[in-house]
Amino acid sequence: MYLLLIIGGITFCVAQYVLARKGCFYTSLVLAILYSLLTVLYLQSFMFLIVIVLWALFLIGIKIRKNNEKTSVNKLAVFSIIFTTVMFLGFGYYFLNGVVTEGYITIEEHNLFAENGKYYLYLDEQKIEVSEELYNQVELNSRYHFKYSWNKLLTKNGKFEVFELDS
């Protein structure tokens, strides 16, 4: 996770340098805002997108330098605006698919099992990986209150916010 942030930061710095040398101030500014937003919001799951785009911009900068072509600042500004719009639409789509499942479940033997050293709980017909600690704490034939946050796009990535014995 931190390695990805470091790689993103290095790539960002290189792209900023190349764009500054070409006089592309607005593109450089948009990239700085995007990178800062991603860092502040700690959206490490999307860092790979900005790393890929920054790397592509870096390669474009190298090609421009080798071919000695003059690119229009307007073209880069339009590209930056389109890219920013697509990124924010992608973020919005991802966050709109966030789901919180909350309710009560009676844990029976078929709901809780271990497989290949990992522990699972069947919840609403979804196989959820749980920690060994949670697996060992659960009592069979007991009713639990749970709150589980997950995303429809990444069903395997989720977490229990609440999992406690119902009184």
Cα–Cα distance, 98 to 30 (Å, whole number): 27
Across 112-117, average pLDDT: 86
Domain ranges of the chain: 2-96, 98-165
Cα–Cα distance, 63 to 28 (Å, whole number): 18
**Residue predicted with more confidence, 134 or 60:** 134
Tell me the pLDDT tens digit for each residue of 53-109: 666 666 666 666 665 555 565 566 667 767 777 877 787 788 788 888 888 988 888
Q: What is the layout of strands, in order, in the sheet containing 112-115?
A: 112-115, 118-123, 126-130
Q: Is the pTM of this model over 0.85?
A: no
Answer whether 61's CB lies under 8 Å from 15's CB: yes
